[in-house]
Structure 1
């Protein structure tokens, strides 16, 4: 008894230079190794191209006998065409949040969950340990961040009419200058870190990329507000720049997240809330409110990551403490917060030029500093520090807020 006739693929005039290999490959996918596929077609170069393609993909070609259904060639299915991936390593599970503890450097830029052919270059990613970059909340925070993106051109009514006294407008300009300076540092830090993270942790990469985009948008709106009424930018103190510079030199992902997001941006949440409450005009109120919403996500990820790492390794808290002390020692002789910024905050909180109002404004800024301290202590306690140690570390935080 003979079996059914082997299948024949009829290509007509289609040649390999126009995609015939896709049909051959598709037809072979339904055969077992050793089974044959007849290939028929009128393209003059079909036999030459088919034989070359089969050599490359591990199949064998048999010349047909005369009169075999007009078949140009018989292809004997080999193992290496579709089976060449059978021994390939899979780069983990593609599902959200299903990440390996330490993905292979050989995966490079392969998508998580992909079959990775051996022999490719290793990626230049030194942050390849899950516990050094991960937080379980990262996928949800990224989804939230993507949904909450806003366009400065449409989210802010820049044409809202308002007129401020010259001294009040000058105070706004100074505060905006200070905010831009700090947001520039807050952009550089995640931008430098994300280039080092193994792409297997894609949700963290995506989240940090959106965080950098947030900071770029904040720089835009704070600069635009400063220039809105034709004024110039305010002053930039050497101490302030030195304080921010210490954030740029921290190479450890967790420590950089701790100093920037948990302590610095955490304090900035209070500052932006203060500015939203005391804003002398609707544009300033709007942009500080929008920025505060973004910064809350940045702080949430930093706190979640540090909590994850400190829970796994309680001894890691000693490194967090050392990072705070080291930064304090570097900045101990600097002037701290730009006096022009402090005075501008007092002016905005005062709202008018009377002794009573200025005293009220000064008290409000002092309360702001107290709220920043309470917030830092609360986050430090959440990370596992005893309350007295949390208070001590919070007091060592830079006087420049960030």
Structure 2
């Protein structure tokens, strides 16, 4: 039986003496003794109380106080297990519910709560690029007050300013849907897949920032927001109804936000003022990350799920059927895009603006087809499905 000693001097248990005691006991085996001395008058009372709580025993004799090390603290961790490995390579396919909110790689004590998460399998949410995308997203955050010169001087004809306001109103509406969807999904993911959670958290912050800057640009010259069509809101509402992570990622990021990349690039190119050019350019960079993750996740899932394409096709067709009787893109938005591309009200300019908006829609279609092919659809099917995408762009 080993004998060891610990002198606590004036340190009391209400000021951290238990830390030194724990450290000394950790080197002993069950049954070994630790002689404890100290100048605190309450030491005998506090020592007995602490040892009783932690499964040790205190004996007193002429020499003073001795702690006999128990094994309760060892038994406590007897059934513990590591929750995978902290590195992304340590992600397991199906983390058990008992790991719950434990940090990935932590030693998890047995017997804790078992919270349930809807998306508890790696393939339901994962993409190998998620960790890198999160690091990029975290480093690329921007402050609207610093990144945009809101005091830039410019003057626009009233009709051109009205067109900008209408487009900004449309963008705000779509960004609100793009915020709600990842926010809803976020809390349903097992925390073991933390890089995906972190990426979606930054994505919601991106969308909140986009809503902010688009609103500020719309109101910059003291005007009122534009119109919101029933058909446009109905198109966005169908995105909110998709409960499956992969299907929601497909409809929002691969198709909707992918199409919006073309729109934001168009707006950055045709912007009649520096503020509009800046906010659409900044938003486009953020949206590119959202699209990249959605495409990567669906590509990953497509390599292991032979039925994925069937499910994706059904989702597109279901949404198309639900929206077939709606008016599609708000006419005010379409006309505003033509006016912005035209830059003036001459017949020649309007015709040129019209042609540019038609070219934009062709670019959107080409981009959708390219992404559909990347996640596994043959060219002809990708072409067919792209044409079924909502006329409201998102």
Pairs within 5 Å for 1:326-341: 326-341=318-333
Aligned pairs for 1:270-289 within 5 A: 270-289=262-281
Partner of 2:147: 155
In structure 1, the partner of 2:44 is: 47
Deviation per residue, 1:162-187 (Å, 9 max, x gap): 00000000000000000000000000
SS, match of residue 74 in structure 1: strand
Partner of residue 297, structure 1 = 289
2:339 is the counterpart of 1:347? yes
- Correspondence 1:188 to 2:180: yes
Query: 2:140 aligned with 1:143, yes or no?
Result: no
SS at match of 1:201: helix
Partner of 2:99: 107
Quote the offset at 1:124 in angstroms: 3.6
Matched with 1:255 is: 247
Does the residue aligned with 2:303 lie in a helix, a strand or coil? helix
Partner of residue 8, structure 2: 11
Unaligned 5+ residue runs, structure 1? none
| Native 8 Å contact 1:97 1:136 kept in 2 | no
Q: Any conservation in 1 of the 2:79–2:110 contact (CA below 8 Å)?
A: no
Please, which moves more after superposition, 11-20 or 144-153? Answer: 11-20
Mapped partners of 1:181, 1:118: distance in 2: 47
Indicate whether 1:207 and 2:199 are aligned: yes
Give distance in 2, aligned partners of 1:183 and 1:123.
Answer: 31
8 Å CA contact retained: 2:85, 2:105: yes
1:274 and 1:368 in contact (8 A); partners too: yes
Give the Å deviation of 1:120: 2.0
Partner of 1:240: 232
Q: Which runs of 5+ in 2 are unaligned?
A: none
Matched, 1:360 2:370: no
Q: CA offset at residue 118 of structure 1?
A: 2.2
How far apart are 1:117 and its partner, in Å?
A: 1.6
- Please say if 1:224 is aligned against 2:216: yes
Report the Cα offset of residue 97 of structure 1. Answer: 4.0
Q: CA deviation at 1:95?
A: 1.4
Quick one: distance in 1 between partners of 2:98 and 2:320?
Answer: 40
Q: Distance in 2 between matches of 1:126 and 1:350?
A: 49
Say if 1:97 and 1:139, in contact at 8 Å, map to a contact too: no
Q: Is the 8 A contact 2:264 2:281 kept in 1?
A: yes
* TM, length-normalised to structure 2: 0.98
The count of aligned residue pairs is 394
Q: Which residue of 2 aligns with 1:314?
A: 306
Give me the whole-angstrom Cα distance separating, in 2, the residues matched to 1:159 and 1:335. Answer: 38
Deviation at 1:337, TM superposition (A): 0.1
1:277-300 per-residue CA deviation (whole Å, 9 max, x = no partner) reads: 000000000010000000000000
Q: Quote how far apart the aligned CAs of 1:82 are.
A: 4.8
**Bigger CA drift: 38-47 or 389-398?**
38-47
Distance 2:180 2:89 in 1: 26
Deviations 1:219-274 (A, max 9, x none): 00000000000011000000000000011110000000000000000000000000
Match of 1:37 in 2: 34
How far, CA to CA, are the matches of 1:164 and 1:149 in structure 2?
Answer: 30
How far the C-alpha of 1:395 sits from its partner, in A, is 0.4
Aligned partner of 2:72 in structure 1 is 80
- Cα distance between partner residues in 2 of 1:48 and 1:399: 77
Q: Which of 149, 153, 156 is the matching residue for 1:164? A: 156
Residues 1:205 and 1:395: Cα distance change in structure 2 (over 3 Å) = same
